[in-house]
Amino acid sequence: MGNTKQYKPDGGTSQVWPQRLVVLLRHLLMRFRHTHRRQIAQLGMHQGQSAVLVTLWRGEGLTQTELAEKLEISPSTMTAGLQRLEQGGFIRREQDAHDQRISRVYVTEKGKAMRSHLEEGLDALEEQLLRGFDEKEIEQLREYMQRMAQNLEGCPCLEGKECGRHGSH
């Protein structure tokens, strides 16, 4: 079974890979993506398309560039995703009234109808993830995850700079 030493909060060298939080988070994310991918496939969608719809539900009429920036993906990846969504009848693109070079993205009725299905799937997945947690633990987990996300916002790695224990970020 290998090394069974426990994770040391002080970052000591006896820390084993399976106990590292980043490894556990990666494993959790992989399981989440696998489960979510299966859920959305049943709805006739592909990975990542649900995030585009959720973003558009919060505010339609965004440009392709704005969507790519909000979702932190490349413009070419966004183009491919929008083409699939458009072919599936979930979105439509219209030229901007003031600048014909720009197209704005809108959710179709079919795309709007997906909202309840996606929310039901995410609710079920979240319920499964949090089984056995009480409300206080869920709120603590939410706060911890938000703090971790904020901690990464200032990470030099995001700007292509050296990242590590060489000072605080």
pLDDT tens per residue, range 29-79: 999 999 999 998 998 888 788 899 999 999 999 999 999 999 999 999 999
Alpha-carbon gap, residue 36 to 53, rounded angstroms: 15
- Domain-by-domain residue ranges, the chain? 17-131
Q: HSE, CB side, 13 Å, CA atoms: give it for residue 125.
A: 18
Tokens for 141?
């987990």
**Where would I find the beta strands (DSSP E) of the chain?**
62-63, 91-95, 103-107
Options 3.10.20.30, 1.10.10.10, 1.10.3720.10, 3.20.20.370; which CATH number does 17-131 get? 1.10.10.10
- pLDDT of res. 69: 94
Q: What is the reported pLDDT for 22?
A: 87
